[in-house]
Amino acid sequence: MTTAAPVQPLPVVGAGVVSSAGYGLAPLAAPGGAPAPGAAGPDTDYPPRPVRPVDGFRVADHLGRKGTKILDRLAGLGLVACKQALEAAGPAAGTDPARSGVVLATNTGSIAGYSDLLYDTLTQEKPYLINPGKFAGSVMNCSAGQMAIRHGLKGLNATVAGGRSASLYAFRHARLAMTAGRAEQLLVGGAEELSAPAAWAWHHAGTLRESAPVGEGSAVFVVRDRERPDEPVLAELLACEVGFHGWTGVRGRPGPRRGLSAGLVLAVERALERSGVTAEEVTDVSLGAGDHIGLDRLEERAVRRVLGRLPDPVRVTEVLGETYSAGGALQLAALLARWQSVPGGGSPRLGLITSVGHDGNAGALVVRERI
């Protein structure tokens, strides 16, 4: 067996979060203070399932009215989290805008945006009389592009799709880009909006428990290729391993696993190895599949198999509901929130973030606390 090459730690110097729990990291540390799930009533367009929206969210309240009128909700959530992260990080002295960019996880772009666009083409007297301003939001990389335009980021700009593991694919992509010398600073994270079409898709898919809420949110992190002098660092990203291992069946329907559990075990083992971390050193675990039928047990078993135990896990889905492509980024945010709210010992804590989906994607990210 070939020994994996060790990774260079990447400092996280800023974080921005928009979620149903509130703005920033702090609300994620207090699950008891999270809003109760709101059940969509029979007179709404939503299915009879709990939903957890970002209450009262208006992008203009955070970014002003200029240039925000035509933004869809997905882009708005990502832009506000991006603004928070950059403000928290402060100016990057000497960083070239041409070597600063964005890596954002979002699987389809704004479902509500292109559903509305499609509806207009079917109901307008002349289909070509649709509002052209809505077209940009139908492209999945619209949010990442808006981030770059608003903040003058002229380097790498990538939108990553990978099901529930999309955010971990984004972290992996960012690490590869920085290792290859393509960027000095990247805004990395995920965004997902709540909409009636998306809620109905989850409702009919049969992958979530009936009582599981559907949510939305965005978490974005400023990641640098190296640490600058006198710069506060929230945490260090170590190794991130992802892969596709075959899809699973749901509610008894056939579906070959083809080693999904083994794939997650492999991702965790390889991430720990490349991080230079032993299983005994992992102090915290952030899980993402708590409301998914069958996947919750699969995820826990894989972690126990590698670590030999299951440390008291962070379960952000209990606070925010299912946030799909933004899930991994919000898992990281919740882990950092725990570290900020609960004092550790004398040595840095080590966290493991795992993700697994019925589509067969699985991944693991190792994070180290900075004290």
Q: What is the pLDDT of residue 258?
A: 52
pLDDT reading at 342 higher than 50: yes
Average pLDDT value over all residues in the chain: 88
pLDDT band at residue 156, thresholds of 50, 70 and 90?
very high
* CA separation for the pair 360, 320 (Å, rounded): 23
Question: At CB < 8 A and 24+ separation, what contacts does 152-155 make?
Answer: 152/97, 153/97, 153/100, 153/101, 153/102, 153/187, 154/97, 154/98, 154/100, 154/101, 155/96, 155/97, 155/98, 155/99, 155/100, 155/101, 155/182, 155/183
Helix (H) or strand (E) holding 215: strand 214-215
pLDDT in tens, 204-235: 998 999 889 999 999 999 999 998 888 889 99
Contact between 232 and 11 under an 8 Å Cβ cutoff? The reply is: no
Collapsed DSSP state (helix, strand, coil) of residue 187 = strand
Write the DSSP assignment of 142-159 as a string of letters. Answer: HHHHHHHHHHT--S-EEE
Q: Range(s) for CATH 3.40.47.10 in the chain?
A: 10-224, 235-369
* CA separation for the pair 178, 87 (Å, rounded): 22
What global pTM score does this model have?
0.92
pLDDT reading at 84 higher than 60: yes
pLDDT reading at 170 higher than 70: yes
CATH class belonging to 235-369: alpha beta
- Angle, vertex CA 192, rays to CA 191 and CA 194, nearest 5: 150
pLDDT in tens, 102-152: 999 998 877 777 677 777 778 877 767 777 776 777 788 989 999 999 999
pLDDT reading at 198 higher than 70: yes
Report the CATH number of the 10-224 domain: 3.40.47.10
pLDDT band at residue 83, thresholds of 50, 70 and 90?
very high
* Average pLDDT of the residues in 36-46: 59
- Percent over 90 (pLDDT), the chain: 69
pLDDT in tens, 354-370: 999 999 999 999 999 99
Q: What's the token pair of residue 203?
A: 């409702």
**Per residue in 74-112, is it b (16+ CB within 10 Å) or e — as a string?**
bbbbbbbbbbbbbebbeebeebeeebbbbbbbbbbbbbb
Q: What is the pLDDT of residue 111?
A: 77
* CA separation for the pair 206, 115 (Å, rounded): 22
pLDDT reading at 1 higher than 70: no
pLDDT reading at 22 higher than 90: yes
Q: What's the token pair of residue 287?
A: 């899980």
